[in-house]
């Protein structure tokens, strides 16, 4: 199975600063069709997860351009520039390239 | 689109439970469906998938113990949980992806507690 290793486990950031989360896969996430099915979700307290990024770097509709996904192969990064109070929660990477599908272990973003 | 889970509860280790997810607002038979769980205070854990043609995939942690199924006439997704362990304690969500896309719809979840 594909293991997604997220670092750091938690992140405490000052409002207005940048946050960076890493997601490293145990296998390449490039599918045979050439696409890489790596997504990023944010789960706010008491809510279901919400999509931020799909296919590594595509922002979902309505997601601010402060959220930037990048990477390829086995190494992926989510950068949040100018962190705002509504960004707090737990961030998960998720891969849909290989069965069984898997989530990363999560990164908790706290505001200082 | 609405997904509503039910069937959770307190169950003893080694026992069984069957979860349901009632779907509405879309043509249920045309979509693959997923079960995802989240242990209290822990991360998301993908559990199982069933395609529109009833092909299935399971996470290793539940393979051989859980069975995902669907009844298209009732617009309902199921998860049969057998040989339950304490580590299966979690909120169980059903979810639907957009084709070749992402998880777009989630239910509110149903809590399964495995304890003696």
* Tens-binned pLDDT, residue by residue, of chain A (112 aa): 999 999 999 999 999 999 999 999 999 999 999 999 999 999 999 999 999 999 999 999 999 999 999 999 999 999 999 999 999 999 999 999 999 999 999 999 998 8
**Which residues of chain A neighbour B58 with C-beta distances below 8 Å?**
100
pLDDT score at B99: 84
Query: Does B101 score more than 90 pLDDT?
Result: no
Q: How far is A97 from chain B (nearest CA, A)?
A: 10
**Which residues of chain B neighbour A60 with C-beta distances below 8 Å?**
102
pLDDT score at A35: 96
Please provide the DSSP assignment of chain A as one string: ---EEEE-SEEEE-TTS-EEEEEEESS--B-TTS-B-EEEEEE-TTS--EEEEETTTEEPTT--TTEEEEEETTEEEEEE-S--GGG-EEEEEEE-SSSSPEE---EEEEE-
How many residue contacts between A and B have a Cβ separation below 8 Å? 52
Question: What's the mean pLDDT in B58-67?
Answer: 98
Asked if A49 lies within 8 A of B97 by C-beta distance, the reply is no
Query: Does B100 score more than 90 pLDDT?
Result: no
- β-partners of residue B5 are B21
Q: What is the mean pLDDT of chain B?
A: 97
Asked if A49 lies within 8 A of B44 by C-beta distance, the reply is yes
- Whether omega before B81 lies within 30 degrees of 0, making that bond cis, reads no
Question: What's the mean pLDDT in B47-76?
Answer: 97
Select the residue of B59, B103, B108 nearest A51 (Cβ to Cβ): B103
Q: How many CB atoms lie within 10 A of CB A105?
A: 19
Contact B67, B83 (CB under 8 A): no
Question: What's the mean pLDDT in B44-60?
Answer: 97
């Amino acid at each position: 199975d594909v293991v997604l290793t997220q670092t750091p486990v938690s992140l405490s950031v000052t409002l207005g600063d940048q946050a960076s989360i890493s997601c490293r896969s145990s296998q390449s996430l490039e599918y045979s069709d050439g696409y890489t099915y790596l997504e990023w979700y944010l789960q706010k307290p008491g809510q279901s997860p919400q999509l931020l990024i799909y296919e590594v770097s595509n922002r979902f509709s309505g997601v601010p351009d402060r959220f930037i996904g990048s990477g390829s192969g086995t190494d992926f990064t989510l950068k949040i520039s100018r962190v705002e109070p509504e960004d707090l929660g737990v961030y998960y990477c998720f891969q849909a390239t290989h069965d069984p599908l898997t989530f990363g272990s999560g990164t908790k973003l706290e505001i200082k | 689109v609405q997904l509503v889970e039910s069937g959770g509860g307190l169950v003893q280790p080694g026992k069984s439970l069957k979860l349901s997810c009632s779907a509405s607002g879309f043509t249920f038979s045309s979509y693959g469906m997923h079960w995802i769980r989240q242990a209290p205070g822990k991360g998301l854990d993908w559990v199982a998938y069933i395609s529109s043609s009833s092909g299935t995939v399971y996470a290793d942690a539940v393979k051989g113990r859980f069975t995902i199924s669907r009844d298209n006439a009732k617009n309902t997704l199921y998860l049969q949980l057998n040989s339950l362990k304490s580590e299966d304690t979690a909120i169980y969500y059903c979810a639907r992806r957009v084709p070749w896309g992402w998880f777009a719809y989630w239910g509110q979840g149903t809590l399964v507690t495995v304890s003696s």
